[in-house]
Structure formats: C-alpha cells, structure tokens
Amino acid sequence: MNTAEDDTTQPGTPPAPPNTLTKPASDGGDFDLVPSSVIISSVNTLAVPHLAAFYESKNAENVLGDGILHDYLDFTGVGDVILADLIRTEAMPPASKAFLRAGPRKTLYFHPPEVCAAIVTCGGLCPGLNNIVREVTKTLLNLYGARSVLGIRGGFWGFHEQQTLGVASGSQSVASMAPIELTHELVSGIQHKGGTILGSSRGGYDSEQILDFCTRRNISQLYIVGGDGTHRAANKVGLDALARKVNLTVAGIPKTIDNDLDIIDKSFGFDSAVQAAQDAIRTAAVEARCNLPNGIGIVKLMGRHAGFIATHATLAAGDVDLCLVPEVPIELDGMYGVLPHVERVLKVKGKAVV
C-alpha cells in the first residue's frame, strides 16, 4: 500500500504514462518548433484594384448598423491575408503568396446612405442563388444602411430597358422584366425557394446598356452572380466603367456547383450537387445488384473539366467501384486499365458501379 502523502492516485487507477504531462515544449507551450528549413521570409499579396486609385474616396467611417451604433472591433486591413500555400515543406522556397482577407474595413469608399446597389443573377440555375440575393440585400440595408437595392430581372437582358425581346411565340416587352426594389419583406424566406426570384438567362450582355442603366438609376455598386462567361463580362463592365469615368464598383460572385475554383475552399451549390449525386449512385447500385449476372451500374455526373462532384459523391456513397475524373487520363487496358479492373470487381462481387 502506497502511503506517500503527495500521492493522489485513487485505488484501482492505473498510473499515468511517464512523461505524459511533463514533456517540455521548445516554446514553453503545446507546440514544438518546426525545422529551421521550413520558413517564410516574405509574403507577396495579390493586388486588388480599388476605386480610390481613380476617384476621390468618401473615407466614410464604417459604423455597421442600421442607425444603431454598436461595438464591432473585428475590422480587417491590408495586413490581414490568407496564405495561398497553407501546407509548407522543407523543399519549398521561403517566399509565400497570399490573398487579401475579405471583411469590413474601418473606412469606406462610398458613404452608405448614398449607395444605390443592384444585383443580377446570370446563366444557369444553381442551389443558393436566393440565399445570395437575400444576404446581399440584408447586409446592405441592415448593416450598412444603404439607400436602396435593385434586383435586375432576367439576367443581363434586364438592363435593356425600353426595348423588346424576341421570343419563339412572338415578342415580350422588357417592361415585364422591369427591375424590382429589394426590401426586407421581399427577401424574407426566399432562401427556402428554388431557383432565383430575379430570374436568369444566358446572353444579353451589352456593356453600354449596363452602364447606361447604372448611370440613369445612380447605381454605385453592381453585384453580378454567374459563371466564367458572366465574370468575363463583369470584368469588361468594370474596365468600361473606368474608361467612361463612371464611379461604379463591380463585384463578381462566382456561381459554379462544380467547385472548380482555386482560391476559395468551396463554391455554393457544391454540397447540394454532391447530395443529389448520391441518389443517382444508390439507384445505379440497385440496378447493378438486381441485373444478373454481372450487373454494371454507370453514373455520369456533371463537372465539365473538374472531378470534385464525382470524387466527393463517391467517397460519401461508399458503393462505387471505379471513379473516373477528368484530371486523370483514362486507360482502358493494361495493369491500371479500366476494363481489367471492372473484370476483377465482377469476379469478386458479381456487380460493379462506375
């Protein structure tokens, strides 16, 4: 029996492993120093264009409140960045790249009560479009106290005022797609609806029409939601605005459920696409199991040149025997060929899902 006065071990309790709590850390905390060859000596931040380089800024104080002052200390500045290479190895050069962190600034280029903003959704539909319309509207009106937010209907065609759109059944006046003013009441609950309350379309891009519209309606902030083609157009609108000396900021919001963007971790709509893909995979698994002998279920998923949806759906479903992605060249025969692999799976399981 241990009778030491400083022993607090209860009967039946196994002794603690040696050095579990007493191992010294090199920095005095819970972290050890990495090898000296893993260092970052300099960080280069991707340059972000700013209207203040072309026009005089309002330098308005960022109050962040709809007429109600409250403490908000987590402002971001030029020194707040996200490192592009989060994983560091000894073989990497000491220089790193970074992206400017998004977030509220202490001073604003525009004076919020003078801001008239507009938002437009372009291209194909994607889960989350109404969430974007809702959050942009509520952020501008609630947090910043903007004067108004317009919703442009029917994609870029909504900027073509006083004109007529030709359709298969005749013609439809664009007046029926007149912009709508987005309010708290209008956007409340739209996140539960599919599609976009603004409507969407392909084509209709005309930089002159867009800038004329923004000038007539005193739009100073334009939010454009769309894919790669839409963003090429958005970039052109921004450049043309500078050429015409139109004091307009253009913000592009990437819309791709394929998750085929670097920089960001995940694009909106991607999780929904992966979830929907699992239903197709489960159906294919049932077909393969029930079609005897040697049933094969084949599922083709969207993604264009990126295999993120296919890969994540495969990992989540657990029923897939072979996943083919655009990033990896397909070999039909040979040691790593698709056909020999499927043949081996059929011999073992009697079915396969590709």
Helix (H, G, I), strand (E, B) or coil at 193: coil
* pLDDT for the residue numbered 164: 44
Helix (H) or strand (E) holding 118: strand 116-121
The conformation of residue 143, written as its DSSP 8-state character, comes to: I
Give the rounded percent of residues in the chain with a pLDDT score beyond 70. 85
* pLDDT for the residue numbered 2: 46
* pLDDT for the residue numbered 174: 47
Q: Which residue in 224, 255, 254, 253 sits closest to 237, CA to CA?
A: 224
Is residue 78's pLDDT more than 90?
no
Is residue 341's pLDDT more than 90?
yes
Is residue 1's pLDDT more than 90?
no
* CB 106, CB 138: distance < 8 Å: no
Q: pLDDT (tens digit, 9 = 90+) per residue, 215-257?
A: 999 999 999 999 888 999 999 999 999 999 999 999 999 888 8
Domains and CATH numbers, the chain: 110-254 (3.40.50.450), 270-353 (3.40.50.460)
Q: pLDDT (tens digit, 9 = 90+) per residue, 180-205?
A: 999 999 999 999 998 999 999 988 99
Q: Report the interhelical angle of 308-317 vs 270-290 (nearest 10°).
A: 60
Average pLDDT, the chain: 84
For the question of residue 333 being annotated catalytic, the response is: no
**Cα distance between the two ends of the chain:** 65
In DSSP terms, 81 is beta-bridged to: 100
Q: pLDDT (tens digit, 9 = 90+) per residue, 92-102?
A: 888 999 988 88
DSSP codes joined into one string, 159-212: G-TT-EEEETTEEEEGGGG--EE--HHHHTTGGGSSS-TT---S----HHHHHH
**345: Cα within 13 Å, side-chain hemisphere:** 20
- Residue 334, classified by CB atoms within 10 Å of its CB into exposed (0-12), middle (13-18) or buried (19+), is exposed
* CB 308, CB 269: distance < 8 Å: no
Q: pLDDT (tens digit, 9 = 90+) per residue, 267-315?
A: 888 888 899 999 999 999 999 999 989 999 999 998 888 999 999 999 9
Q: pLDDT (tens digit, 9 = 90+) per residue, 106-126?
A: 889 999 999 999 999 998 888
pLDDT grade for 265, boundaries at 50, 70 and 90: confident
The average pLDDT across 80-92 equals: 86
* CB 248, CB 214: distance < 8 Å: yes
Catalytic residue among 258, 260, 319, 321: 258
Give the rounded percent of residues in the chain with a pLDDT score beyond 90. 50
Is residue 62's pLDDT more than 90?
no
The pair of structure tokens assigned to 294 is 């040697």
* pLDDT for the residue numbered 72: 57
pLDDT grade for 351, boundaries at 50, 70 and 90: very high
* CB 309, CB 257: distance < 8 Å: yes
- The pTM (predicted TM-score) of the whole model is 0.78
